[in-house]
């Protein structure tokens, strides 16, 4: 900020230049607001304004002219006011082509001196005046040429003397000397250093106070040698530079050059922007050199500090452990990037720095550019945490994650000139977290799908985080929502009186697993308190920092097993009673005495009465002869194993055969010799007959399966396949031993195996039907699609005994489906092309709307305007025929304007933004009713609104819809009676509407508008919604035939449906159905 205003404010009130400065709107000029002009310009301008000599400076690329009152007087009043703050080219006009060479020379650093003449308007008289003009460059602090300084020395008198051949050379010389003295005075008072050196000894003929201050010298330097007064410059190239200017006549300029000067006996460094400019005599010879300078020591030192600070900053950035880059400008040019950032994006320094960011990393533009734009718009930094970015690096495209901050870089004036990005990659951390989450999800799924009751407790309050269905249904017998998220001790308070709370605390604090077998637990469920015998385990769960976060409980309900064992133990003493009461026969055989003791049931099985005495010989005689060898071998083996078992036939009276099962235990004496046997005998005739029947049925199943073209197979309850029909062997070319176990998987296409195993395992675990489409390999190596199904076969208790499955060839179906999908894709492409064509049509419609809105209405408005003027001024002068035609013309123009406006409304129903709102329909209806209040009152119309339901609509479009329908009812009202309209709204389903155009299960807002107008023929119920369709002539009813078309378009915009019903003379009803979202 400069203080220029204070510099010209002191000029006298009658100063014309001061008035020009006050009147000029500086921000509108290329120089801008004067408060922002550079200091060197302000300094020069002060000198010009305070100088008694005519002076003018030309600034900027356009050479804008600013001058003092003396120069204004020299120009003459008219030209002065036209030239101030205007470009030199505009002022010189046709002469610019010749004059411009002067300015080009000066802007290239070459000062120019010329004599000039001009016609000056003084007091209304044109007077020719002559000036000796010098054009010198104006340099900035940095030595840059920023303008031209023109000094005009009036030499009119001299010219007059010369032209009148007056020999007044002394007077001329005096004028020249005075002029030179004035110039010398200006130079000596200049605020920047100026000196003149003449001759080979570099005699100082002129030195202003500024340069003497810089040298640390006084007035005694004038007349002395430049080399003599500043000997310290001998080895600093300064004198050589001056001599080269003397020798070549070429000016020399130095910028930010160090010069060591002796101050108070010590050399001290200073920095200057300086120039050595040759001075020519009348013979064109260099007689001296003018030295101008500007000290920039403070600026230089400040710049060094800035550079040092910037270097430290860049060194810090380069050494930072984070990725850092700085972007500049609207193209986000990479100004710098440290090694870590280059490593993150896999770029070299030469291939990345100095280029637009999105040129080097085009793949991040869509993700990042809008963030940059927001930062530049708001000035707020942006922080990203685990932000996903797809980068092309290390030869591939990969999804990466970063924590970063984008921070705006602001200049002193607050303008944002760049963005600093500081980033660290967290891809591995995020992926590890995702993997952990996936692992935890898999673990939870495993828990939830486990057939063993399991639950997970979290925290020291043992909150139930999850529990599988088996635990909830069989052990807890509660609803999931009653226990999940609740402490297990709150959900089951009965546990407080048992040992389990202490065990949970012990596991949670110690981190040691605890397990027990057959522990007693009392659990209260929806069916009351139930006693369990449980094998359970409490296992601690650790978080990523190895801190205990919970406990996993695994339970195996062994209540049935324990209770069964207890019952067996309880009933051991009653064994004899049970055996006696059962269907088993009991026997004891003394091997050494060959004597038997048998129970009554045993006798009955052999066909004897219970009280009969039966010998061993009688019993042996009843065994089937073919089974005697088997029985003998069973006894011999029992002597070795200690256990007897065999099945045999016995032949009773009338040749009836029975099957018996004999079991026994051998007891040995002290010599380990068989001593006696105790056992049971059971009649298994029915079982044998059933087994035979089962074998016969199985044989029939195999015959039936082998006759089927489908692949048929069975498995046991564990999912192990154990049977394949012949079609499987024929199809695969594999043998039974190749198919058994998991060999059948070799038939399944490798891409389908994993899913096949998952589906089959799920069915085995859950008992759900198996249903899967996969590819099987034929014996010739080709694959065909198969649809495999399997159902479980269950026993009376619902337990799965086996699985029966089949695989049906669906290759043709798959081929057909693929072809159908291709056809769908083709139709989709066609639909997309139709959409493109429709978009093109919409744009054409928008062009038409623009033309209608501007180009068509403008001549129409003129016609209406002029016709109105004619009606006012000339109507009485027209004939009756002329008046009639004139009225027709006005009516036609009004109809044309109405038509254009209706067409515009129709075209805009699609182009407007569709912003849906949930709103009470009666508020919309009442607002439209108020808007049409005058029309309704004019016709004495009554409008009954009973529509309190909430609808999801585009409000402004629905106002248009209701306005059109009400206006339509008023237009077609019966002149014999007052118009009456009823508007209702209710919620219904598509099924309730009875309309095939609506979805049965979708809810709709049903809006009905009915009137008592003239009505129409039902056959036109669809035609009336078409554009330009009218049922009456224009003479009968005015209008364009677009109003109801707009209504139809608005309903379509809401994905709704509209219908109209009517009878001539009985009014009309419009029913609208809008989906309720």
Q: With both helix axes pointing from N to C terminus, report the angle between 880-911 and 955-971 in degrees, rounded to the nearest 10.
A: 150
Q: pLDDT tens-digit profile of 573-628?
A: 555 555 555 578 888 888 888 888 888 888 888 888 877 888 888 888 888 888 88
As a whole number, mean pLDDT of residues 974-995 equals 90
Number of separate helices (H) and strands (E) present in the chain: 39, 37
Within 8 A by CB and 6+ apart from 266, the residues are none
Buried/exposed 693-714: b ≥16 CB within 10 Å, e otherwise: eeeeeeeeeeeebeeeebbbbb
pLDDT of residue 1035: 46
**Within-domain flag for 207:** no
Clarify whether residues 379 and 516 are in a common domain.
Answer: no
Q: With both helix axes pointing from N to C terminus, report the angle between 880-911 and 857-873 in degrees, rounded to the nearest 10.
A: 150
pLDDT of residue 265: 79
**Within-domain flag for 73:** yes
Whether the per-residue pLDDT at 568 is higher than 60: the answer is yes
Measured between alpha carbons, how far is 4 from 41 in angstroms, rounded to an integer?
A: 10
CB 187 within 8 A of CB 211: no
Clarify whether residues 408 and 500 are in a common domain.
Answer: no
Q: pLDDT tens-digit profile of 367-388?
A: 889 999 999 889 899 998 889 9
| Most confident residue range from 425-434, 785-794, 889-898 | 785-794
pLDDT of residue 427: 83
Clarify whether residues 633 and 646 are in a common domain.
Answer: yes
Which of 138, 159, 189 is the last residue in one of the domains? 189
Helix (H) or strand (E) holding 310: helix 297-319
pLDDT of residue 344: 84
Q: Percentage of residues in the chain with pLDDT exceeding 90?
A: 17
Range in 342-346, 653-657, 947-951 with the lowest mean pLDDT? 653-657
More confident of the two residues 107 and 845: 107
Nearest to 661 by CA among 696, 686, 640: 686
Which of 862, 877, 909 is the last residue in one of the domains? 909
pLDDT of residue 119: 47
Burial environment of residue 930 by CB neighbours within 10 A (0 to 12, 13 to 18, 19 or more): exposed
At residue 435, φ and ψ (nearest 5 deg) are -65, -40
Q: How many CA atoms lie within 13 A of 996 on its CB side?
A: 0
Clarify whether residues 453 and 476 are in a common domain.
Answer: yes
| Most confident residue range from 68-77, 226-235, 311-320 | 226-235
Q: What is the 3-state secondary structure (H, E, C) of 178-233?
A: HHHHHHHHHHHCCCCCEEEEECCCCEEEEECHHHHHHHCCCHHHCCCEHHHHCHHH
Count of the separate structural domains present in the chain: 7
Average pLDDT of the chain, as a whole number? 82
**Within-domain flag for 305:** no
309 — pLDDT class (breaks 50, 70, 90) = low
pLDDT of residue 79: 63
**Within-domain flag for 517:** yes
**Within-domain flag for 553:** yes
Helix (H) or strand (E) holding 429: helix 427-449
DSSP 8-state code for residue 656: -
Whether the per-residue pLDDT at 126 is higher than 60: the answer is no
Clarify whether residues 8 and 110 are in a common domain.
Answer: yes
pLDDT of residue 84: 85
Which of 909, 934, 967 is the last residue in one of the domains? 909
Whether the per-residue pLDDT at 165 is higher than 60: the answer is no
**Within-domain flag for 678:** yes
Clarify whether residues 771 and 784 are in a common domain.
Answer: yes
More confident of the two residues 976 and 572: 976
Q: pLDDT tens-digit profile of 820-857?
A: 888 878 887 877 877 777 676 666 666 665 555 555 55
Clarify whether residues 136 and 26 are in a common domain.
Answer: yes
As a whole number, mean pLDDT of residues 686-703 equals 70
**Distances from the Cα of 133 to the Cαs of 45, 150, 183, 550, in angstroms?**
18, 7, 12, 97
Clarify whether residues 764 and 834 are in a common domain.
Answer: no
pLDDT of residue 1: 46
Measured between alpha carbons, how far is 273 from 844 in angstroms, rounded to an integer?
A: 65
* Residue 124 tokens, joined: 């209304």
Clarify whether residues 896 and 927 are in a common domain.
Answer: no
Clarify whether residues 91 and 1 are in a common domain.
Answer: yes
**Within-domain flag for 754:** yes
Whether the per-residue pLDDT at 911 is higher than 50: the answer is no
pLDDT of residue 770: 93
Q: pLDDT tens-digit profile of 998-1015?
A: 888 899 999 999 999 888
Whether the per-residue pLDDT at 1066 is higher than 50: the answer is yes
Range of the domain at 791: 708-806
Range in 407-411, 542-546, 1053-1057 with the lowest mean pLDDT? 542-546
As a whole number, mean pLDDT of residues 674-684 equals 88
DSSP 8-state code for residue 356: B
| One-character DSSP codes across 471-516 | IIIIII-S-HHHHTTSBHHHH-GGGGGSSHHHHHHHHHHH---EEE
484 — pLDDT class (breaks 50, 70, 90) = very high
Clarify whether residues 631 and 600 are in a common domain.
Answer: yes
Cα 481 off chain centre by? 36
Range in 10-14, 261-265, 643-647, 748-752 with the lowest mean pLDDT? 10-14
Nearest to 42 by CA among 21, 71, 62, 28: 21
Measured between alpha carbons, how far is 845 from 857 in angstroms, rounded to an integer?
A: 16
Q: pLDDT tens-digit profile of 882-906?
A: 777 777 776 666 656 555 655 555 5
Neighbours of 796 (CB within 10 A): 5
1033 — pLDDT class (breaks 50, 70, 90) = very low
Buried/exposed 561-592: b ≥16 CB within 10 Å, e otherwise: ebeeeeeeeeeeeeeeeeeeeeebbbbebebe
Clarify whether residues 1058 and 1004 are in a common domain.
Answer: yes
As a whole number, mean pLDDT of residues 748-762 equals 92
**Within-domain flag for 239:** no
Q: Which CATH number goes with the domain that contains 415?
A: 3.30.450.20
Helix (H) or strand (E) holding 1044: helix 1043-1053
């Amino acid at each position: 900020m400069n203080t220029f205003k204070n510099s010209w404010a002191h000029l006298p009130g009658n100063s014309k230049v001061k008035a020009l400065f006050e009147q000029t709107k500086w921000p509108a000029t290329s120089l801008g607001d004067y408060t922002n002009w550079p200091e060197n310009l302000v300094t020069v301008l002060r000198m010009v304004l305070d100088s008694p000599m005519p002076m003018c400076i030309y600034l900027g690329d356009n050479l804008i002219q600013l001058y003092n009152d003396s120069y204004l007087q020299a120009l003459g009043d008219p030209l002065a006011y036209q030239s101030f703050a205007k470009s030199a080219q505009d002022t010189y006009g046709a002469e610019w082509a010749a004059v411009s060479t002067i300015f080009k020379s000066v802007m290239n650093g070459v000062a120019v001196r010329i004599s000039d003449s001009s016609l000056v308007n003084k007091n209304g008289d044109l007077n020719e005046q002559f000036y000796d003009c010098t054009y010198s460059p104006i340099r900035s602090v940095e030595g840059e040429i920023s303008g031209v300084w023109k000094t005009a020395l009036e030499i009119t008198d001299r010219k007059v003397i010369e032209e009148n051949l007056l020999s007044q050379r002394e007077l001329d010389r005096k004028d020249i000397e005075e002029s030179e003295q004035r110039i010398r005075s200006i130079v000596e008072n200049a605020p920047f250093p100026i000196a003149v050196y003449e001759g080979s000894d570099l005699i100082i003929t002129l030195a202003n106070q500024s340069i003497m201050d810089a040298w640390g010298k006084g007035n005694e330097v004038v007349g002395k040698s430049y080399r003599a007064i500043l000997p310290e410059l001998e080895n600093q190239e300064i004198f050589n530079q001056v001599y080269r200017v003397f020798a070549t006549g070429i000016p020399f300029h130095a910028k930010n050059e160090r010069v060591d000067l002796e101050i108070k006996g010590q050399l001290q460094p200073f920095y200057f922007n300086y120039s050595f400019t040759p001075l020519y005599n009348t013979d064109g010879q260099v007689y001296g050199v003018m030295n101008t300078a500007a000290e920039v020591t403070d600026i230089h030192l400040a710049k060094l500090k800035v550079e040092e600070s910037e270097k430290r900053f860049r060194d810090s950035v380069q050494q930072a452990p984070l990725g850092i880059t700085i972007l500049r400008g609207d193209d986000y040019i990479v100004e710098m990037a440290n090694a870590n950032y280059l490593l993150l994006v896999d770029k070299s320094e030469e291939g990345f720095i100095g280029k637009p960011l999105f040129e080097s990393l085009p793949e991040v533009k869509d993700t990042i550019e809008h963030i940059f734009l927001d930062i530049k718009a708001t000035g707020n930094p942006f922080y990203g945490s685990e932000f996903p970015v797809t980068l092309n690096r290390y030869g591939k495209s990969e999804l990466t994650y970063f924590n970063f901050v984008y921070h705006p870089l602001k200049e002193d004036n607050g303008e944002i000139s760049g963005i600093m990005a500081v980033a660290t990659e967290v891809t591995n951390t995020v992926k590890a977290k995702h993997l952990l989450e996936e692992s935890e999800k898999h673990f939870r799924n495993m828990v939830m799908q486990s057939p063993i009751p399991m639950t997970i407790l979290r925290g020291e309050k043992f909150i139930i985080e999850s529990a599988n269905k088996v635990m909830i249904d069989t052990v807890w017998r509660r609803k999931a929502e009653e226990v999940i998220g609740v402490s297990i001790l709150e959900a089951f308070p009965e546990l407080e009186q048992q040992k389990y709370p202490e065990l949970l605390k012990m596991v949670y604090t110690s981190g040691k697993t605890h397990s027990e077998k057959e522990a007693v637990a009392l659990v209260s469920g929806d069916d009351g308190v139930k006693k369990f015998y449980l094998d359970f385990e409490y296992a601690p769960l650790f978080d990523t920092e190895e801190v205990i976060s919970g406990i996993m409980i695994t339970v195996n309900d062994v209540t049935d097993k324990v209770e069964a064992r207890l019952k067996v133990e309880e009933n051991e003493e009653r064994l004899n009673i049970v055996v006696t009461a059962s269907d088993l026969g009991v026997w004891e055989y003394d091997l050494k005495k060959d004597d038997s003791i048998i129970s009554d049931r045993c006798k009955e099985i052999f066909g004897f009465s219970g009280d009969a005495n039966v010998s061993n010989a009688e019993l042996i005689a009843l065994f089937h002869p073919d089974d005697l060898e088997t029985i003998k071998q069973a006894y011999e083996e029992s002597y070795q194993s200690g256990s007897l078992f065999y099945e045999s036939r016995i032949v009773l009276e009338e040749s009836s055969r029975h099957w018996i099962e004999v079991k026994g235990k051998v007891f040995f004496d002290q010599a380990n010799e068989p001593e006696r046997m105790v056992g049971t005998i059971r009649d298994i005739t029915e079982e044998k007959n059933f087994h035979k029947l089962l074998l016969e049925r199985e044989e029939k199943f195999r015959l039936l399966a082998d006759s089927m073209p489908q692949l048929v197979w069975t498995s046991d309850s564990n999912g192990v396949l154990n049977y394949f029909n012949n079609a499987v062997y024929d199809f695969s070319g594999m043998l039974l031993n190749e198919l058994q176990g998991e060999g059948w998987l070799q038939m399944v296409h490798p891409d389908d195996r994993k899913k096949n195993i998952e589906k089959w395992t799920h069915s085995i675990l859950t008992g759900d039907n198996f249903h899967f489409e996969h590819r099987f390999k034929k014996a010739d190596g080709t694959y065909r699609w198969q649809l495999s199904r399997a159902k479980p076969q269950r026993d009376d208790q619902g337990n799965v005994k086996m699985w029966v499955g089949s695989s049906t060839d669906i290759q043709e179906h798959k081929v057909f489906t693929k072809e159908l999908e291709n056809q769908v894709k083709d139709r989709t492409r066609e639909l997309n092309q139709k959409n493109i064509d429709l978009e093109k049509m919409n744009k054409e419609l928008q062009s038409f709307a623009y033309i209608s809105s501007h180009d068509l209405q403008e001549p129409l408005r003129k016609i209406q305007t002029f016709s109105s003027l004619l009606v006012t001024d000339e109507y009485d002068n027209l004939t009756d025929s002329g008046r009639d035609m004139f009225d027709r013309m006005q009516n036609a123009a009004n109809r044309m304007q109405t038509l254009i406006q209706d067409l515009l409304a129709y075209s805009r129903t699609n182009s407007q933004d569709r912003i849906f709102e949930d709103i009470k329909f009666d508020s919309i209806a009442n607002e439209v009713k108020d808007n049409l209040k005058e029309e309704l009152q004019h016709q004495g119309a009554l409008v009954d609104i009973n529509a309190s339901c909430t609808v999801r609509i585009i409000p402004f479009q629905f106002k248009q819809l209701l306005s059109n329908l009400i206006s339509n009812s008023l237009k077609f009202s019966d002149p014999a009676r007052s118009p009456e309209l009823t508007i209702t709204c209710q919620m219904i389903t598509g099924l309730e509407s009875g309309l095939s155009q609506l979805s049965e299960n979708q809810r709709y807002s049903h809006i009905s508008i009915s009137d008592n107008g003239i009505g129409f023929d039902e056959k036109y119920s669809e035609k009336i919604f078409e554009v330009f369709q009218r049922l009456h002539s224009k003479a009968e009813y005015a209008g364009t035939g677009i109003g109801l078309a707009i209504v139809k378009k608005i309903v379509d915009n809401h994905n709704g449906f509209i219908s109209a019903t009517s009878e001539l003379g009985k009014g009309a009803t419009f029913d609208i159905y809008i989906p309720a979202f």
